A and B are shown apart, each in its own frame.
Chain A
Amino acid sequence: MTSLWLIPALPLAGFLILVLTEGRLPRSVVAWIGAGSVGIAAVITGYVAWQFLAHDNATIVSSEWLWFSVGSMEISFRLWIDELSLVMTGVITGVGFLIHWYATGYMSEEEGYSRFFAYMNLFVFAMLMLVMGDSLLLLFLGWEGVGLCSYLLIGFFHKVPEFGYAARKAFVVTRVGDTFFLIALFLIFWQVGTLDVQEGLAFARANWDESTTVNTIICLLLLGGAVGKSAQIPLQTWLPDAMAGPTPVSALIHAATMVTAGVYLIARMQGMFELSELAMLCVTLVGLATLFIASFTALVQSDIKRVLAFSTMSQIGYMFFALGLGAWSAGFFHLVTHAFFKALLFLASGSVILAMHHEQDMFKMGGLRKILPVPYYAMLIGSAALAALPLTAGFFSKDAILLGAWDEPNYGGLFWTGAIVAAVLTSLYTVRMIALTFWGEPRGKTYEISADSLWNPNRVRTVMPFLILGVLSIFGGWIGFEFTKQLFNETEAPHGLLYVIQHLDFVPVLTFLIPLLGIVLGILFFRLSEDDQFRKGITDNSLSGILSKYWHSGWGFDWVYDRFIVWPFVTIARTRTNKNDIVDLIFKTLKFFASLFHHILSMLQTGHIRWYAFTMFGGILIVLVLVMWV
């Protein structure tokens, strides 16, 4: 199917047009090219999906051409559409289009409009290559490409040095993960003899079993790559800083698509991961640890975007957690629903931030529901899905994960408890965010929103993305799960309300009720006025002071990395000797001796007769002394 190539080619063409015109196009044209190219790609994806379903889910393969062929390695450009990549492509082009649409308004008052959409289109292209590529090297091409775009977009406002730092941090930290990924590719190539995903998995299924050490090493290396890209412990520190980018970027790259690439990678390599118990356990533990740490951190943030960033980290933690437990469909399903509601949350927060003239501190907001009704309701819907309020999309996917945890044979109870506690935390920080931003009375300045600004959240053009994402956040869960289950051949996986009703058992009911309880508690607590004795008693004692400080810093990861890696690296680099290259000292010393001898010897030939006579005399004297002595 040749038209498959159109899907990534359109955003690439958009990028090229915008770059080659160097920002000379009028803004309206830029908007049409930027958002339009992704929109048409989404329509084509819809057509491809229809074809796919019409032919009994038969894999669709694009035409191919040779990238390179050296010795025994032959890599082609070829796209591969199966259930997994189709769903991802749909999310990228669909949600991507809505975010582009929103961004045409959001960025309307910024410099570099054309550059922004150029980067965004390039990102969509790279992300599509990541999910559609049929070989690991093509996947890696997209993988590095999205990293580059993430860097470019975080540092989009390049005049601010801090943003530049955040951008570089994101690139370098993820690159550490990428290096593991790269080493995994080498290992796969030499062990399997190909980098083709399907051939590789087939090889693993046929030749390897649970005791194959190489497979475990490969999986752990891939996990290293996934951890970097998906901001999981221990490479998670870049994501909160990445919020320096414009909010549509945070929505698209750092919530809906790029950061879930790690989840996609693991799901893609399911055949290898399933063979290694150790690797699976590691995936689970990484997910669980991130889930916990990020949830606690989100609870004490004051910057609205940082709350959402830590929330993204923790939700991806859920996905890793689920994958590691073998609840593949639940984890992947959560990726999809999360893309809907987290994009919605980010877009709504973007409107809030613009309305507050780039103020992101929630303690300076409050009472915004009156002036920003549309973002308020959008945020309510998104939050409901995030906190897994029953019947929203987030509920279906999270419930499936929690029940999947219970089904784990060895540590099921433990995992379930951990995940459910984190679910309560999720509810709490979500309610806190809503309460601080929208409820109560305004604590800081509020501004008038001029009716003709393009980002005005009361205009139809801006509301549409909210509306569509809102509908998806509520209803997206009802249809999706059956489809995702087919993906991983898990018809037995537990899910949803129906399951709860059918098995009125202790655990499903608890799993259903506890997150709900979290929401209720949260509402009760955060509705209290700030002077309330009970509320003060909890927030103002010394223990909570220390804890919140510790949590606020993201559990000190940054501190440790700065102290033990960045600081020595930079300090040694800055010293003078190092700049001047120590090795050069050897040659400088050589030169020093050479010129020393040069000076000594040239002293012997000064041309002064006196000096010659003197040395001659001295020489004779020494000889005489020596002769007499001996």
Chain B
Amino acid sequence: MLAAGGVAWISERIHVNLPRWLSLLTFIGVTAWVGAVWLGGPDQSGLYANQFIEWIPRFGINLIFQIDGLSLLLIGLTAILGVAAVVSSWTETKQRTGFFQFNVLWVMAGVVGVFSSFDLLLFFFFWEVMLIPMYFLIAIWGHEDKEYAAMKFFLFTQISGLLMLVAIIALVWVNYEATNTLTFSYEALLGLELEGSIARLLMLGFFIAFVTKLPSVPVHTWLPDAHTQAPTAGSVILAGILLKTGAYGIIRFVITLFPEASQDFWFWGMLLGVISILYGGYLAYSQTDFKRLVAYSSIAHMGFVLVGVYSFTTLGMQGAIVTVIAHGFSTAALFMMAGALQERLHSREMSDMGGLWQKAPRMGAVTMFFVVASVGMPGLGNFIGEFLVLVGAFNKSIVLTVLATFGVVVAAVYGLSLMQRSFQGELNPRVSEMQDFGVREMSLMAVLMIALIWIGVHPQTVLALSDGFVQILEVIP
């Protein structure tokens, strides 16, 4: 009920081109709403909000919005990072701010829709809604090579999205053949028995769409370009939230709609994850561009999500979800740092940095915190996620888990080298004056830091919310 309210509430304001204050207030409002719903607790069926409106009954398409624990978590993340995205680009975008905020809000509306739609066509609709404004964000407010990056992003997502659409329609058709009812409802399709080969094919359709978004090797190459070229708010949204729709899709749709086919697919899923971890980590180390390095590190972290999900254990699944949330915060912060550096130095190249700690100790300390978090330090959120993923996966495949564990060493290598090349060492002579973080940026970072510490010390908040969903998974063979 309230979910649709939340979405509609955003969309009401969307059509008015109001500048950043409005958009900031919107996100704060959504955050408050999520908080209120969370405190209100779930109903008997474990849902926090529920809304059903008929849309196109002839084809069984309805506006089904539901928010369970998992959705609420991700919507909460979206709302907080929405605030972060707006605040962090407060001074960065100087032109067409109205349209800029319009796009930011639309992406977010799309994401919230994705996280709460329980009708497959509605889900696909929102999947597309979040794509196009993102394209504009990159193509209009991006950096030097923005058209190329935006087009690449668009093509990758669009082509893979098309596969998903085909798979959705095919799935609905098979269901129609079997039960003679035409429906796109997630819950109605959940129990459908599928023939092995068809299930595999359809599963792949969904899987490819989501894994491109996640992204995993080998369809990850749009991400570094899109990230590097996107404005700060774009990067924050991209890494913090858009990638998570891929993870969400796999967790919510792929393994529940096609349980057997996914079970059979576990080895490939985990293998892709492990390759992403190692290859992404290694390429991160190879980069000289601050933002590109962080972008590749995202690929590595998302590899952990794949490994966790395809371990098919409660531990791995919960670990994947915690990783999703924690990575949202830590990477968003690092992208904001990249944006802040670019604003001050007009460069993302680390050869233009070095020794910045002397000029901006606060920025140095903050970067250190988030690098340490993303390296997987116990006590911070990312560790809980990665640890649970690896423990869970160990039961499934020792070899793959051991390989993934060595990804932790690679993370240390690129994380610390990022720190060294930007903030430590001798002061780069080309850097003359540089302003440290002020109150606005510092308080934003403080929120993200507290969030990561909270997840690290008391992850039960997250685990309890997603527990309901993971419990259901265990029932599925």
Contacts and interface: CB of A to CB of B under 8 A. Distances in A.
Contacts of B423: 158
A574 B286 contact: yes
Contacts of B443: none
A22 B365 CA distance: 10
B217 interface: yes
Interface stretch (A33-41, A334-342, A406-414, A575-583): A575-583
Nearest to B384: A68
Contacts of A158: 355, 357, 423-425
Nearest to A68: B459
Contact of A172 (B378, B395, B409, B460): B409
A454 to B, nearest CB: 24
Contacts, number: 126
A159 B355 contact: yes
B288 A159 contact: no
B427 interface: yes
Interface stretch (B56-64, B231-239, B342-350, B410-418): B410-418
Contacts of B319: 70
* Residues of B contacting A: mostly: helix
A70 B405 contact: no
Interface stretch (B45-53, B139-147, B266-274, B310-318): B310-318
B394 A187 contact: yes
Contacts of B420: 161, 164-165, 168
Interface in B165-196: none
A70 B388 contact: yes
A155 interface: yes
Contact of A159 (B362, B379, B406, B425): B425
Interface residues of A, number: 49
B71 interface: no
A581 B283 contact: yes
Contacts of A73: 315, 388, 391
B329 interface: no
A520 B251 CA distance: 72
Nearest to A66: B460
Contact of B313 (A71, A159, A183, A583): A71
B425 A161 contact: yes
Residue among B220, B279, B405 with the most chain A CB within 10 A? B405
A436 to B, nearest CB: 32
Nearest to A594: B155
Contact of B391 (A22, A67, A189, A586): A189
Contacts of A168: 413, 416-417, 420
A161 to B, nearest CB: 4
A427 B391 CA distance: 47
B318 A70 contact: yes
A581 B357 contact: no
B457 A67 contact: yes
Nearest to A185: B391
B445 interface: no
A187 B395 CA distance: 9
A563 B413 CA distance: 17
Given A148-B377, A167-B416, 13 more contacts: A22-B362, A70-B388, A141-B378, A145-B379, A171-B412, A182-B408, A186-B401, A190-B395, A573-B285, A579-B287, A581-B221, A583-B217, A587-B221
Interface of A: 19, 22-23, 66-71, 73, 137, 140-141, 144-145, 148, 151-152, 155, 158-161, 164-165, 167-168, 171-172, 175-176, 178-179, 182-183, 185-187, 189-190, 573-574, 578-579, 581, 583-584, 586-587
13 contacts: A141-B378, A145-B378, A148-B372, A158-B425, A161-B425, A172-B413, A182-B387, A182-B405, A186-B391, A189-B394, A190-B391, A574-B286, A581-B224
By Cβ-Cβ distance, the 9 closest A-B pairs, closest first, are A71-B314, A141-B378, A186-B394, A573-B286, A584-B221, A158-B424, A161-B425, A168-B416, A68-B459
